[in-house]
Chains A and B, each alone.
Chain A
């Protein structure tokens, strides 16, 4: 039994070794670690060397900032509003630790809206890392590519105007419509679908306005974390740039024409690789900066008829409805009464004939 456990433990160790081996250690990890340690050390020395008066002044300034910020938080109504709360959540999500500037940033998030919080949270994380005595490299903030999908149903007869309005909404505030198509089947259904890209800080506003075009049927919001992709691109770009620098150094020392040609060819390839990676990185970054919105506007056959505005219009509308209702009721009543009346006529005629015969007889 104990042998079996040993064998199993050995197998587990081998499996773990195999799995661990699939994670390639980044070539520049050691260099980055040593450089981070040096930075930590120099920062620690700077702090040690800083005159005491400066420390006291900095502490006093920090206390004033904290008090002012605290006052703003306590008195400002914005702090209860959703955008501010979401901005704070965004900070938390990014792993940012409290920094002196945080309260002020929260305020600005509150003013700018929730999505601005996501974008600005990078600043918060950076500020926190910079203000931290522990100088490990700043953790990359979470970069989310957001997508919203909104479907609204509009009142009968309003499709054209609402559809135009939806396109206008999507194109404002730096947004643009990528794709827009509308289909109308005469008298049956009108539907329009558009895809737009909008600056992420305006996403919530746009979704809110699109919802207000009619009755929301579907509102989906999704986010995709692209931070690992961006980190990966950054590392690959750094590696390629380091290789390029080495090649340039080699080129400057090359003596023969063949060596120059060979190095030049490798340089061209490396430059192409860097530009390709930078392009791909920019594409992913654009997904973070510009959110995607898909909006569908429909006017189905059984869409509710719009209520007329104004008391006269309402009264006339109701009177019209009343006439239609009375006439409908009469027709229905006639439908019920007709067979009964027919039977009554037949019975009456039969009785009259029967009595006439009785009299004649």
Chain B
């Protein structure tokens, strides 16, 4: 390992320490599958390491976020396609409970979020957890910026309704 590579490896260690937990959790929120999220969280960093000099240290967070989100969304798309294809031939790949559901089910707080349809849930995660801009979300989800804005608006409206209902129930 020469000096440049040692530096790159040292940088990678810093990135992993600083960002991996957040990226792993973001992938978990998107995929609801910890095993797949682990792979995404690893792959993003390996790609960053391979990209080496192309990733500026100051820009690493943004770069890693974008790569991890794209990897997670690609997996989500291929999983959806796969499930549809299997559904067409009458095959049910997973009759058992998703281990992630057990975690999701434990929390009451996320019930409102879990009730959102996928098309609204993803922009909400990308906007409010991953902290992407509306333009970045549009690019990641292959949508127009206007569509992202309207989906976020709709999601906020539904969440507001849901949360106020939850509040009333709590008070009552």
Contact = CB atoms under 8 A, between A and B. Distances in A.
B3 interface: no
Interface stretch (B89-97, B133-141, B142-150): B89-97
Contacts, number: 146
A13 B129 contact: yes
B96 A18 contact: no
Contacts of A44: 50
A33 B91 contact: no
B13 interface: yes
B29 A16 contact: yes
B147 to A, nearest CB: 19
A135 B50 CA distance: 10
Interface string A129-141: 0000011110110
Nearest to A93: B82
A223 B43 contact: no
A153 interface: no
Contacts of A23: 24-25, 28-29, 34, 37, 103
Nearest to B98: A228
Contacts of A223: 91-95
Interface in B30-61: 33-35, 37-39, 41-43, 45-47, 49-50
Nearest to A32: B42
Report whether over half of chain B's contact residues are helix, strand or loop; otherwise say mixed. helix
A223 B86 CA distance: 11
A30 interface: yes
Interface string A221-234: 11111111101100
A23 B94 CA distance: 21
A33 B16 contact: yes
Contacts of A5: 156
Interface in A15-45: 15-23, 25-26, 29-30, 32-34, 36-38, 40-41, 44
Interface in A228-251: 228-229, 231-232
A34 B50 contact: no
A137 B46 CA distance: 10
A221 B29 CA distance: 31
Contact of B46 (A21, A40, A142, A221): A40
Interface in A155-170: none
Interface residues of A, number: 53
Contacts of B33: 228
Contact of A232 (B35, B42, B85, B129): B35
A319 interface: no
Contacts of A41: 1, 5, 9, 49-50
A251 B129 CA distance: 45
Residue with the greatest number of chain B CB neighbours at <10 A, chosen from A23, A44, A221? A23
Please indicate which of the listed interface residues A15, A21, A30 has the most CB atoms of chain B within 10 Å of its own CB: A15
A221 B90 CA distance: 9
A126 interface: no
A8 interface: yes
A280 interface: no
A254 interface: no
Contacts of A216: none
Interface string B98-127: 111001101101101100000000001100
A11 interface: yes
B9 A37 contact: yes
A22 B106 contact: yes
A222 B160 CA distance: 40
A210 to B, nearest CB: 18
A226 B96 contact: yes
A152 to B, nearest CB: 19
12 contacts: A11-B159, A11-B163, A25-B24, A33-B16, A34-B16, A41-B9, A44-B50, A93-B82, A134-B50, A136-B46, A226-B96, A229-B99
Interface of B: 1, 5, 9, 12-13, 16-17, 20-21, 24-26, 28-29, 33-35, 37-39, 41-43, 45-47, 49-50, 78, 82, 85-86, 90-96, 98-100, 103-104, 106-107, 109-110, 112-113, 124-125, 128-129, 156, 159-160, 163
Interface of A: 4-5, 8-9, 11-23, 25-26, 29-30, 32-34, 36-38, 40-41, 44, 89, 92-93, 95, 134-137, 139-140, 142, 144, 221-229, 231-232
What 8 A-B pairs have minimum CB-CB distances, sorted nearest first?
A20-B25, A23-B28, A225-B94, A16-B129, A19-B110, A231-B35, A37-B49, A224-B96
